[in-house]
Amino acid sequence: MSVPRAALKPVVFYDGSCPLCRREIAHYQRLDRRNRIQWVDISIDASLLKQHKICPDKALRLFHVLDRMQHLHIGVDAFVIVWRELPGYRWLARLVTISGMTPLLNAAYRRFAAWRYRHRSCQSVSCTRS
């Protein structure tokens, strides 16, 4: 018997080998008291990425989230999916969505993500640098 789509949780793919990413995700996980999100450390297990045909290297470089309908979101759009689920962040999800600033925020995020990827401390065998 399959799980109804409405019952699925968003799936967050994060780089657990990155100290900055670990701290941010730990913060979000503390807020996720109702267990509304599935958290997947792709530095330990990338099998779910492969199941959804997501390139592991791209997922290490940029934040990837599957929403409840299993649609893939990357970058700021992915953060919005997470923020909608967390108390204290829902207002930010609404603000980003209605402000029309998503393209500007995505451009800034992509620059930051490229910097983060180049400067992170690799702690796993799966970690590769460009």
Q: Is 13 helix (H, G, I), strand (E, B) or coil?
A: strand
- The answer on pLDDT for 120 being more than 80 is no
**Average pLDDT of span 89-94:** 96
Q: Tell me how long the chain is.
A: 130
Phi, psi of 127 (to 5 degrees): -80, 125
**Average pLDDT of span 72-98:** 96
- The answer on pLDDT for 92 being more than 80 is yes
- The answer on pLDDT for 130 being more than 90 is no
**Tell me, what's the pLDDT at 6?**
52
Query: How many contiguous H segments (helices) and E segments (strands) does the chain have?
Result: 6, 4
**Tell me, what's the pLDDT at 5?**
53
Q: Label residue 125 exposed, middle or buried (CB < 10 Å: 0-12, 13-18, 19+).
A: exposed
Q: Do 63 and 79 meet the contact criterion of CB atoms below 8 Å apart? A: yes
pLDDT in tens, 6-19: 568 999 999 998 88
- The answer on pLDDT for 123 being more than 50 is no
pLDDT in tens, 20-51: 899 999 999 999 999 999 999 999 999 999 99
Domains of the chain: 5-119 (3.40.30)
Comparing CA positions, the residue from 129, 111, 109, 108 lying closest to residue 120 is 129
Q: Do 107 and 54 meet the contact criterion of CB atoms below 8 Å apart? A: no
What confidence tier does 73 reach under pLDDT thresholds 50, 70, 90? Answer: very high
- Residue 47: how many other CB atoms lie within 10 Å: 9
Spatial neighbors of 83 by CB under 8 A, at least 6 apart, are 89, 90, 92, 93, 96
